[in-house]
């Protein structure tokens, strides 16, 4: 479940089995006193702690993206970077030609292309001290060509351009 995207139909059937367990399989039209959304909430906030299978599957796939950014020296990360010609210092996997991409990796990276994905919308990147970030990434050069042409220093890391003291 953590490597493969679950088909929507399977997730619906598994969630239906959960519901039948709670509300009883024999009743033809059982009365649902509580919404499924409330039942699926964690116990800490008043639910039963049952998890929606589609949400759980997406969370497990997103965990691979998180591990990609937090394990830059791991063997699996080095293999993915080598196979898909990724830069080893990137936080998130970059775009890959769909014809070269394995279907497993395609399922893992799919939410990065979706602008409505909850995980994708809540990713926060922090510069830290700027020692790992190039000041003029090729995409920045193209986007801000006039600014780049006026820049005195065109190469280097962000930390080499100055420092911030007490937030200024």
CA–CA separation, 44 and 54 (whole Å):
21
134 forms bridges with which residues in the sheet? 157
- Whether residue 15 sits in one domain with residue 79: yes
User: Confidence band (pLDDT; 50, 70, 90) for 166?
Assistant: low
- Whether residue 102 sits in one domain with residue 156: no
- Whether residue 55 sits in one domain with residue 10: yes
- Whether residue 86 sits in one domain with residue 45: yes
- Whether residue 67 sits in one domain with residue 19: yes
Total domain count for the chain? 2
* Tokens 């599957």, located at residue: 57
Q: Where is pLDDT greater, at 132 or 80?
A: 80
- Quick one: pLDDT at residue 75? 94
User: Confidence band (pLDDT; 50, 70, 90) for 9?
Assistant: very high
- Whether residue 147 sits in one domain with residue 80: no
Residues 48-63 have a mean pLDDT of 87
User: Confidence band (pLDDT; 50, 70, 90) for 164?
Assistant: low
Residues of the domain holding 104 = 1-125
- Whether residue 101 sits in one domain with residue 30: yes
CA–CA separation, 164 and 168 (whole Å):
5
User: Confidence band (pLDDT; 50, 70, 90) for 44?
Assistant: very high
CA–CA separation, 47 and 168 (whole Å):
45
> How do residues 107-153 score in pLDDT, each as one tens digit?
888 777 777 777 777 877 776 777 777 787 777 788 888 888 888 88
- Quick one: pLDDT at residue 148? 85
In this structure, what are the phi and psi dihedrals at residue 149, rounded to the nearest 5 degrees? -65, -25
Encode burial over 62-92: b for 16+ CB neighbours within 10 A, e otherwise: bebbeebeeeeeeeebeebbeebebeeeeee
- Quick one: pLDDT at residue 122? 81
- Whether residue 35 sits in one domain with residue 111: yes
> How do residues 89-101 score in pLDDT, each as one tens digit?
777 787 777 777 8
Q: pLDDT exceeding 90 applies to what percent of the chain?
A: 6
The answer to whether residue 10 scores a pLDDT higher than 90 is yes
- Quick one: pLDDT at residue 17? 87
- Whether residue 147 sits in one domain with residue 101: no
The answer to whether residue 61 scores a pLDDT higher than 80 is yes
């Amino acid at each position: 479940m953590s490597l493969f995207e679950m088909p929507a139909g399977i997730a619906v059937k598994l969630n239906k089995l959960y519901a039948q367990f709670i509300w009883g399989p024999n009743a033809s039209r059982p009365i649902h006193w509580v919404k499924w959304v409330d039942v699926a909430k964690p116990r800490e906030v008043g639910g039963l702690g049952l998890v929606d299978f589609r949400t759980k599957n997406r969370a497990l796939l997103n965990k691979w993206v998180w591990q990609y950014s937090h394990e830059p020296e791991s063997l699996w990360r080095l293999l993915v970077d080598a196979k898909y010609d990724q830069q080893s210092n990137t936080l998130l996997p970059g775009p890959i030609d769909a014809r070269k991409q394995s279907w497993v990796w395609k399922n893992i990276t799919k939410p990065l292309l979706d602008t409505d994905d909850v995980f994708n919308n809540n990713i926060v990147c922090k510069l830290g001290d700027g020692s790992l970030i190039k000041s003029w990434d090729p995409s920045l050069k193209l986007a801000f060509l006039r600014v780049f042409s006026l820049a005195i220093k065109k190469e280097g890391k962000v930390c080499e351009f100055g420092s911030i003291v007490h937030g200024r």
